[in-house]
Amino acid sequence: MSEKGLLIVLSGPSGVGKGTVRKAIFKNGVDFEYSISMTSRNKRSGEIEGVDYFFKTREEFEELIEQGELLEYAKYVDNYYGTPVRHVRDTMDRGKDIFLEIEVQGAEQVKNKIPEALFIFLAPPSILDLECRLKGRGTESDEVIKERIAKARKEIQMMYLYDYVVENNEVDLAVERIKAIIQSEHLKRERVEMKYRRALLELEEEEI
């Protein structure tokens, strides 16, 4: 029996650059798969169905929630986002790692369901830096900006749920660090030991 794949969760406060880092990770090919999320938000120009997201109506999404088809889901800026559970399960069963890039409420749900997954928190270089980015995003009112900042501060407090923190000072460096974390996770004694234990058991059985 082959070893189960790892479930890797990349999350962090909104505005920290999770999407950019995730795209950079997959740009040059990696030996883990990306879990394409479902969303009820409108497709942005350039986005492709089944590549960026599976786009659903609000009703379709709510039906999927009821049918238990989602590993986690969250409402973010009035739209649903969620992870189809089947692809995650099948990929892990095939012995392949699967990578989720999701916001913090979803990551918390995964932590409750699958605590042994690998949780990586993408953090801003500083809280001030994140607040500058949230302010600089566009044309929102002071009220909306204030709300976003309050939310980002709460999201940063969720860091305690994670195994590793990677500061997003520079995308290439963050990508390198995330790949290194995944590699080290595979070398953890608990994971490697299992393989050797099985081999020893098989040898002993043959010798009987």
Chain residues that interact with ligand 5GP, rule: CB under 6 A: 14, 18-19, 37, 41, 72, 74, 76, 81-83, 101-103, 105-106
Q: State the nearest-atom distance from the C-beta of 151 to ligand 5GP, in Å.
A: 11
CA distance 38 to 161: 24
Cβ closest to ligand 5GP, residue 5 vs residue 15: 15
Q: Are strands 97-101 and 54-55 parallel, antiparallel or unpaired?
A: unpaired
Q: How far apart are CA 155 and CA 152, in angstroms?
A: 5
Taking the complex as a whole, the smallest distance from the CB of residue 132 to ligand 5GP amounts, in Å, to 18
Q: Is 26 helix (H, G, I), strand (E, B) or coil?
A: helix
Task: For ligand 5GP, give the closer residue by CB, 25 or 74.
Answer: 74
Element (DSSP H or E) covering residue 10: strand 7-11
For the chain, give me the number of helices (H) and strands (E)?
8, 9
Closest distance of CB 100 from ligand 5GP, Å? 7
Alpha helix positions (H), 48-141 = 58-66, 85-93, 104-113, 127-136
Min dist CB 16 to ligand 5GP, Å, is 9
- Shorter beta-carbon distance to ligand 5GP: residue 41 or 96: 41
- Residue for token pair 């938000």: 41
Bridge partners, residue 120, by sequence: 10, 164
Are 105 and 74 spatial neighbours (Cβ–Cβ below 8 Å)?
Answer: yes
d(CA 95, CA 25): 20
Cβ distance to ligand 5GP smaller for residue 114 or 187: 114
The residue with tokens 């932590």 is: 111
- Using CB positions, name the residue nearest to ligand 5GP: 106
Q: How far is the CB of 81 from ligand 5GP (least distance, A)?
A: 4
Q: How far is the CB of 102 from ligand 5GP (least distance, A)?
A: 4
Residue number, 100 or 182, with CB nearest to ligand 5GP:
100
Q: Which is nearer to ligand 5GP, 83 or 91 (CB)?
A: 83
